[in-house]
């Protein structure tokens, strides 16, 4: 048994660290769609928001500190954190948002770093809407990919999800500058057209920035 564990630990030590893409973009630009396409090409995907959901679930590392910070009124009858209620609390209160992020972000960072250490694919994509605003995420990445779309398209996508036009306008107004995100990007993906067009653009970027730089082989991305 000890010999088996030793061989497994040696394999982990010898494994080449994955190339890590940080994927970001404003609300309604299509980050999740882009992440799925990159996974289809052979990447391993990590959704930072989904990780946050997990660490804030009952029994998660951030659950008790968040409830203590924001009170039992954010807990539903089933014991879960009422995320829409919590979002309402922090959406217009920067101090409350910073308090929440100070609790959740370090836990999410630790979990993402753990997943990177155990990654099975040569390329890992971390999707995070605040990637460029969060140094803890930026420190994990080798490349920054930003997906952008026109404000009209963003608004249409939000409304299609059931968001009211007034609320969509308010959410878009609170987003950080797409131009600033693009300035910091290694790769900019435009998502104003069809899924087929997006897929073609993603394939071109993958070939240029991943395959040609030795991140994967053509065989491993098929």
Radius of gyration (C-alpha) of the chain in whole angstroms: 19
pLDDT at 9: 47
pLDDT at 137 over 90: no
pLDDT at 136: 72
Summarised one tens digit per residue, pLDDT across range 65-113 is 999 999 999 999 999 999 999 998 998 788 999 999 999 999 999 999 9
Options 3.40.50.300, 3.40.50.720, 3.40.190.10, 1.10.760.10; CATH of 49-120: 3.40.50.300
Options 1.10.1740.10, 3.40.50.150, 3.40.50.300, 3.60.21.10; CATH of 18-43+122-216: 3.40.50.300
* CB-CB contact of 192 with 149 (8 Å): yes
Instruction: Return mean pLDDT, the chain.
Output: 89
Show the 3-state SS of 152-215: HHHHHHHHHCCCCHHHHHHHHHCCCCHHHHHHHCCEEEECCCCHHHHHHHHHHHHHHHHHCCCC
- Whether 18-43+122-216 and 49-120 share one fold: the answer is yes
DSSP H or E run through 49: helix 48-56
What is the domain partition of the chain in residue ranges? 18-43+122-216, 49-120
Give, in degrees to the nearest 5, the angle at Cα 213 between 209 and 218: 85
pLDDT at 12: 44
* CB-CB contact of 75 with 82 (8 Å): yes
What pTM was computed for the model? 0.86
3-state secondary structure at position 60: coil
Phi and psi dihedrals of 189, rounded to 5?
-110, 125
The Cα-based distances of 2 to 10, 12, 68, 157 in angstroms read 12, 15, 43, 54
């Amino acid at each position: 048994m000890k010999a088996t564990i030793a061989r497994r630990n040696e394999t982990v030590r010898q494994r080449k660290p994955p190339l890590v893409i940080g994927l970001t973009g404003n609300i309604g630009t299509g980050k999740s769609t882009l992440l799925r396409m990159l996974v289809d090409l052979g990447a391993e995907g990590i959704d930072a928001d989904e990780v946050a959901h997990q660490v804030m679930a009952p029994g998660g590392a951030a659950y008790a500190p968040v409830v203590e910070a924001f009170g039992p009124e954010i807990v539903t009858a089933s014991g879960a954190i009422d995320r829409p209620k919590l979002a309402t609390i922090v959406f217009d209160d920067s101090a409350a948002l910073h308090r929440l992020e100070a609790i959740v972000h370090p836990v999410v960072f630790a979990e993402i770093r753990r997943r990177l250490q155990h990654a099975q694919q040569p390329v890992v994509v971390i999707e995070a809407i605040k990637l460029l605003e969060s140094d803890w995420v930026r420190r994990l990445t080798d490349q920054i990919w930003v997906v952008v779309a026109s404000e009209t398209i963003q608004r249409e996508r939000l409304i299609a999800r059931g968001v009211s036009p007034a609320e969509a306008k308010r959410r878009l107004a609170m987003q950080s500058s797409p131009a600033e995100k693009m300035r910091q990007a290694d790769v900019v993906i435009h998502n104003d057209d069809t899924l087929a067009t997006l897929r073609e653009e993603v394939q071109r970027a993958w070939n240029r920035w991943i395959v040609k730089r030795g991140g994967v082989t053509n065989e491993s991305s098929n």
